[in-house]
Structures are given as C-alpha cells and as structure tokens.
Structure 1
Amino acid sequence: FAGTIKGVQRIDRNTGKVLDTISRNRSFAGLAMEDGTIMYSEKGAINIYSNGETEKYTHSDKLKDYRVVEIEKIGETFIFGTEGDGLFIVSNDSIIELNTESGLSSNFVTSICEINNNNVLIGTRFGMNEIDLNSYSINIISKRNGLPSDYINDIKEIINKIYVTTDNGLAIINNLGIQVNNYNKVIFEEVQLTDSTLLVTTENYFEVDNRHNNISVQYSFPVFTDANDLKYSYKFYGEDKESELASTTNEDILQFVSLKPGNYSLSVTPLIKSQLISESTATMSFAIIPLWYQKTSVQIIALIAALLLLAFLIYHFLNRASKKHKEQLELNKKIFKLEMDGLKAQMNPHFTYNVLNAVQNLVLKKDSKQAYNYITKFSRLMRNYLDSTRSNFIKLSEEIELISNYVQLEQLRLDNKFDFELNVADNVNLENITIPSMIVQPFIENAIHHGLLHKDGKGKLKVGIEQQNGTLQIAISDDGIGREKAGIINSNKTKMHKSYGVKIIKERIALFEEYYKRKIEIIIKDLNENNVPSGTNVHLTIGLRK
C-alpha cells in the first residue's frame, strides 16, 4: 500500500504495478497492522481498509479537524501525531491530548517510535520526546543533550538501538533507558566576539586583538539524559590571579568581559546527576594580543620618554627659578640703593644746616617755645624718613604725615613765605591705601626750593588727593617762578645743594612697575598766565593693589 497526494493505492510487491485505488484523496499518514488492515488519514477523516472495504475509524469524527501526519499502534492503543496540534493517544474509548502546554517540546509531530510496551519516542520539529504511556510524563531530549539537531525527521528502533535522523545528521542511541555508557568530550561550538562570531577550530585555540576583549563561549555535551541532570564545571584562568574563575553552571554559554591582554585557558567538565565526568573535559586556549600602545616595549619607551621630559621640565623649572632668584636679588639691590639715594637726597646737609640754624636763632631770641616746637617737628620728620626706608610701601596716611611735617618745617624756616593747602577726597581711605614710600616728598621739596623760594611775595603750595577708577590721583601745584626761570637761577649756583630727587623717583618708579606690576605715571606741566610762567603742576597716577 502507498499513500500519496493522489490518494491510497494497493501495489503489487513483485511487479510494482498498481492493483487498485483505495482512495483518491490526498493521504497524510498510514499504518499497516498485523491482521492486514490498513489505517490511513486524509483531510477530515481517518479510515480503515480491510478485505476490499473502507470504513471510518471509530473516533474519526473527533479527529477530523486535525491533520494527522503520523499513526502508531502499541497494543490496543493508537497514537496520532498532528501537524501543529500535538499528540492524541486513544485507548479504548478515552482520548488523551498532549501538546506544548502538557510539556511536549513542539506541536508539530514528525515521527513516532515504540521503545517498549510502556514508552514511546515522539519526534518533532523541536526535539525528541520520551513519553511514559502509563503516567504520560514527558522527557525532552534535544541538541543540548547531544542530538545533532532539534529538527527530527524520523526515529527507528533496530536491534536495541534507536536511530534518529535529523536535518544535521544521524544519531544512534543504545536502547537502554535512553542512556549512553561511552561519553564524548565537551564540544566548543563557537566564540562570540564584540562584533563577530568566531568558529572554534579542532585545535581549540584562537587569537584576537584587545578590541575584542568581551568574549562569549558556547559549548555542548553530546549525551542523552534529562537536561535537568546535566551541569558543567568550568575553570578559567589567565596569567594573573585576578582573572581566575571556577564555578558550576546550568548554562551552555560563558561570558568574559573586559579581559586584559594575555594568554587564557578555559576547561569545561560535564556533571551528570552531580557526578563529574572527568574524561569528557575539554580545554580551550586563546590569547588577547595587546594593541601597539599596550605592548611592553612601547610602554618602556614611553616611560623613558616621560622620565626624560620630566627631567627636562624639572631642570627648566629649577633653572628658571634660579634665574628669577638672581634677578630678584639684583632688583632688590637696585631698590635698596635707590632708597638710600632717596634718603640722602631728602636729608641733604643744606636743609639740616638751615633747620639747626633756625633753632639757634630762636634760642638766642629766647623764644624757647618756638624752638621746642621746631625741634619736635624736626624729630618727627627724621622719624618719618627712617620709617619710610624700612618698607617699599607705606600707608597713605603716613605719607601725608611726612609731607605735613616737612612743609611745616619749611614754613617755619622760611618765615611763612608760602601757604600750604591739603585736600583729600571723601572716597580716599587713608589707612587701607598704600603707595611706594618716599614718592611724593621730592616733588614737594622741588616746589618749595625751586618755585616758591625765589618768588617775590608770598606763594602757595597745593596738594590734592582723590581716587578714580582703581587709581590714586595726587596733584601737586605751586604758584612759583616756574621751571624755566628756576633752571637759570640754579645754573648760576656752583656750591649750592643739587637735588637729584626727581631723577631718583623716576628710576624707582620704573623698578616698581617692573617688579610689582603697578602702573605709576608722572605728568609735569608748566603753568602760564598771559604767557608768563605762573608755577608748576605735577600729577601722579598710582595704580592701586587689587
């Protein structure tokens, strides 16, 4: 008998000729029973052919909505496998339905094979199922258990061995409770890299560069046993102890992330029902090759270069610091010399002689009160001079005190030949503002000695101080004879005191600007009235500390 898409036909075994046609409908499955009866399935029915007559199977109507593609009889029990609806087991008048909800690996049945009176193997598109016909318990056997593939084409039992054909080859199993005694080794199937898949060769060794330092290893163990009874023990170790791992897992894939360059080894041993199968251990080795900048030779060269650069920077820094220190010492020497020169210029012998002479005249006149006042102011002035030489900067209040004491002495010495007016703006904080020491007094001295001293009649000296836009503005003006006429008078004198105060101040200002980075500007302007010299104005602009 043959079932085809054209129907079911009876064929002569010897000649191969068609004797007659039993059904002209497409046949999906058939079963030849021992008594010569034929059972076959077609769309919407399951029929039985016997002695030239065809009749419907007793439970045909109950199965008419399913496409039955496999039929098997074990004792008085019929097993029907369908395409997409699982398995139907008919015993007497009861029908048991088994599908994926019952634990079947797939609802698409491809084959049925009897093992013994109590057990049957069901092939599907997704694994093989061992079913106990008494309890209807299901044990799934799949690729994970050692089958070449999960797609089962057919299953046959021949002389206590079960032959399973798959879409990836043939598996032969000893029919001893679906167990094997001789184990194969664990198989490393593939390695998943960061961006590609690497098939492991029979040598179980590969090399990748450090861009692929996240690695997944998939493996399997070809054994037919319950998946729940199979575990794996693995050991992973590299060149450093930090990378060593040892554990047990149910999974058939291991992942290792952020591996450092170096050599690694992975060994996997199966455990069946907690029993270690040492002879099935498989080992795989691989190497992660460092990138060019991670190689030891490159790192040594980089370290040497870094040390040389560091040595150069240290040398450059020390050399620069030494040079700056020398420049600072030289600058301090210049400042000290200029301060001494400024002190000498201020404490000129001629001025001191005139002060002492004035004191003597007052004593002779028995004006002891005025003489005492004169000596007191002179001593204060000397103290102001000495205090100003101890620091490069003094408070504005101290500078004003020095100017006031000096002007008062000159007024006493010159019999009040000039009036003095000092104006300080309200926005000027005398105690918080500091200016270079001995910077204003020389201009006061010049105004008196070269402008007011030679004027006919009484003169006037004005000093104004205000703060503008982060600077201190100091204006010194006199209504004396002017610089041009004073120059003529001074040129005719040969032994009189020669003032170097303004020249020294300008040199000191240049050093202050260079060292302290504070801008100081001097503007000297001649005053004229109707084209006649009427005095001199000196304007100082001093940058304040931020």
Structure 2
Amino acid sequence: MCTFLCVFLIGITNSLAQNFHLKNFSQKDGLPSLHIQNCTQDNTGYLWIATNKGLVQYDGSDFTIYTTKNGLISNNVNVISTKNNTVFIGTNKGLSIKSYTGFKNFESSNVNCILTVKDHTFLGTNKGIVRVREGYLSPIRTNFQIDLNQVNDIQFDGSFYWITTNKSLWKLDKLISPTVLKRIDLDNYTSILINNKTVIATTYDNGIKLITEGAIETLTTTVQNIKGIKKINNQFWVISKDEGIEVLDDSFSFERTINKYNSLTTNQITSIFQDTDKNTWISTENNGLYLIKNDKPIQRKPTISFENISVVYQTLDSININNYPKTLQLQPNKNHISFYYKTVDINNPNKIEYRYKLNNQASPWTTKNSVDLAYLTPGNYTFSAQSRVGKSESTPIEFNFFIDTPLYKKKWFIWSSVALTCLILSLFIWLYIRRIQTKNKAKVAKLQLENHLLALEQKALQLQMNPHFIFNVLNGIKALGNSGNSVELNSTISKFATLLRGILHNSRQEEISLAEEINTLKNYIELEQQMNSNIFEYTISTNLTIASEEILIPPMLIQPFVENSIKHGISSVKNGKIDINFSIKNDFLHCKILDNGIGIHQSKKLKKTSTHQSIALSVTQERIQNLSKESTFSISEIYKNNEVTGTKILFKIPLKTDF
C-alpha cells in the first residue's frame, strides 16, 4: 500500500512538473545564492532578481551579478521595482537606484516595498513611509501608527492609497498631507492586490480580506503564514512563507496547491512574478528560482532600446538616451561615438539578431549589439538600430546627432583670419613705428633732462659762492693783516682755504657724504659769523639711524638756503639764530632749516637786487625736485601770536647710502 502511494505521488509530481514546464535555476546556473527575495522586469525585458548576495540581471541566457563592489548599497536585496529602464532596489540598509550610468545610494531602515506613482516614488520601510526626493530620502508623516510601524505594502487604486502594516490596514487619499486617513482593520497585513473595484489584502495568520465599497469579507485559505497574493492567468496565487502556494480561481474557490509534495522541492516561497511572455517566476527562500514556462508563447514584436551611448568613450550621463528628442550637438573633435543596444527575449535569447543604419546605410544582420563609429566627418547623422527574433522585426529606434565643422575649415573663420592677419600685420607695423618714435622721444627727453641737469649743476657751481662774500672775507683778511692780529689772521685764512678747497673738491663729485656737506656748512657759517657785523648763532643737529659718513647727497645742496637766511633773514634782527636739522624717516632724508629772521615775504620786499640769491634758491629747489618724483620742497613763514617770527625750509630726498 505504501509503495503504491509513493508511486502515485511521484506520478502526480512528474505530471504537474511536465504540465508546468518547470525549470529550476540555482547557483550552478549562475545565481549567487539560493535565497531569492523578489524578481521583476524592466522595459527592455531584463529580469531583475533580488537575492541575499546581490542584485542579478538575467537576459534569458546569462546572469549578471551586482554587489557592493559595483556600487550597490547592500548585498541583502529585499524588493525591486522598475520605471522605464531605471531600477529601484530596496535593501536592508536603504535604497539603491540603478540607471545605465551606475548606482545612487540612499540610507534608510529596511525597505519592504516600493511604489512609483507618476513622478513620485515611495518606500515602505520598517519605520513608516519614505519619499524618494532629488538627492535624498524624506520621511512622510501621516499617522504615528503608520510612521512607527513596519510598512509591508503600498498600492494605489487610482483614487486612494492602501497601506498594510504589521498592525493594521489603512486607506488614504494622499500620502503627503492626507485629508482622508482611515484605518480599515487591525491585523498583521502583509500585501495588497487591486482587482478592479475590489481590494484584496492578505494577513499573515487570518487568511484573505476582500474590501468592496467599504465592506470586508474574510476568506479562509488552506495555507497559513501568508506573505502575498498575485493574479496569474485569471487565478489568484496565494504565497505562504512555509506552505507553498495555494491557487484560487477568479471566484476565490480552491483549485490546487503548488508545493514540495507535487512539483517544487521547497515550501518556502518569497514572491511570484509573471513576465511579458506570461512566464511565471517563483522565488524561494532556500532553493533558487523556478520558471513555469508559458505553454502558449505570445506572438509579439521584439522591442529594442539603447543601453548606452558614449562619445569618445565618455558615457552620455545627462540625458535619457531612449527618449532623447533633440539632435545631440558635438564638437569637431568628438567624432568617435559608440552605440550599445539590446533586445531581451527570455524564451529565445539565442535567436536575437541586430542591424543598424547610419544615414540610410544599413549593416547586415548580426548577433553583435554594439557598434563604434570612429573618425566621422562633420555633418548631420541619424543612427537607427533594429532587432529581430526569427522573422519578427522590432520597430527601429533612432538617435540624431550633429558633428560640427572644425573652426579652421569654416568660411567665415578663413576670411576672418585673413582680415585679422592683415590687421595684426598693420598693427605690428604701426607699433614698430610707434616704438621707434617713442624710443626717439625718450632719447630726446633723456638728453634734454641730462642737458637740463647739467645746466642746473653748472648754475649751481656758478652760484656756490657769492662774490660779495669772497670780497668781504678778503677785506677781512687784509684788515687783520694791517692790525697785526696774526693768530686770528691765520685762523681765518685756514678756514677760508678749507672752504675753497672743499668747494673745489665737491664740484668735481656727483655725490658727497652728508658729513662732508656738514663740514663745508660749518666753515661757511663760521666765516659768515666772523665777517658779519650782526652777531648770530647756529646749530647743526642730526637724528640719523645711519652714520652721516655713509649717507650720500648732491654737493652744496644746503648752502644757498643758509646764505639766504643770513643775508636776508636774520640780517635785520639782533641775536639771529639758524637751526639746521637732518633726520631719516621712511627711507627719506629730511632737512629742516629754521631762522628767526623777518620772514621770506618781507625779505623779498627789502631786496634791492635779487638776481643771485633768487636764482640760487630756484636752481637748488629745482635740483631737489629733479632728484626724484617723491622729493618734496617747501618754504613757509613761522608765526607766533599772529606775527612773523622766522622762516622754515623743509625738503626731503630719497635716502641713498654708499653700501
């Protein structure tokens, strides 16, 4: 009896397996793990498989595995959703979004479900609902009983959002700032299926709930621990965590079970998915992926899409390459463009062929799905690609691009270059002539300046010593000789000789030390004291940070001012006084000459002849100002109680040393 029962069960199992055309995919076929959580399909036709060891892409023949090494946020993938050719991957550490350029990652708590509605994508996590924003995730605040609990599924029926948590079932008109927020029932709800006007919700322990126009009907199932429900070929497939699959007809009556006792090798089912060819994929927790192939293949045209377009090996990452309506503008040096296109047919992966056209020049059919177009000439291009499976051909896809003509080949550039060359040549000639003229002017100006300086030096030499002063000194020497005062006579002759020798020596020098200038001034002033009928005093002081022997100045620069003070300033006052001071400030040598005379303006009025001293002062002033643009000179009267008490002469020249 037992033998008969075993043979009977084996016969039923084989019969169901043959009827289903069941195929199992495991690690030996290319899967990274036997633990499969979820699978789905994108617009191109790729099957995307979630495992606990990474994300898997399947094109009907090859498995491509993506892990954290490729940029995935976590290898433990829970759920997958696609929009166009963008893949949303929910993991235990957050969300990864894969486009043809790579992954973008966003950290959050464990992601259980993904819903994309129009331009919005929402995640159901272990801590409420999260909205996917541009560059970050934004938690949505609805109700603390949703926000703090595990959200297992979110569905939209066109008017309302249905949310299942591990505590209850909810109905909202909007996820963001809802005005309708209603709790339908308390239970551990696991999934939702929208079937026309009926909402089908599954609970983990208490069967299936049908919600129609607010009324709730409970359906008891033969399986427990329900994880979800899918509609496959007008049947409802109820997924149990550890009791396989229960199949119900369209009136929710029991039809059969699919489990390890009749077809599968495991009862631990995680999800079910039906692809565009009506093939059913069963994900299991411990035995890989099962395929129930459709007995009646669907006759449909293959679809083709661009997987990547690169210009000079750089991916175009700023556009949607399959929906790019404009013409891509390329620079002349960007004339190497590569196209990658793909058709996925899970049932016939080895029967796919491709061809492309470039401006109506078609290539032969081949299995190659890429082409490199190098060294393209400037102009407009239309690239199209097409695929076929057997005799069925896809609708071609197109991409328009334009390669600009090199700048040096454009007519306007050539003519502009000729004109610019002529202009530059003319400008060069003009500048050359202008430079020669400028040099000539500079030479003339330099010669004029040198001539002017020489004239000033000559005038300065001519005016270094007043003839009247020499006459007075010689008369004084004569008078001393007649009086027989030999001591004073010898002293006067010695001072006068020293003064003349210093003047003659300095006249041959462009610059002398400040110490020499001070010695010459002392000899001159002392002779003036001796020859002058009016008694006066003088002081020469220094406030220097450098020794006076190391400071260089033009010769006889101070004497004309001192002579003017003696002859016209203090000559009319008793107890005259002249103070001379030298100091250094900010890399300049400053000179200050003070007297207690009648003032510069009054002295000018009293002068009977002004040729010598006026010329001497103006020449010396011009000498000072010609030493440097930063040299300054000023003469002013000193006032006390609104009365003139003297004259002040100030000037500064750049500090120059002999080291």
**TM-score (ref. length: structure 1):** 0.47
Structure (1 or 2) with the larger CA radius of gyration: 1
Task: Point out which structure has higher relative CO (alpha carbons under 8 A, 6+ apart).
Answer: 2
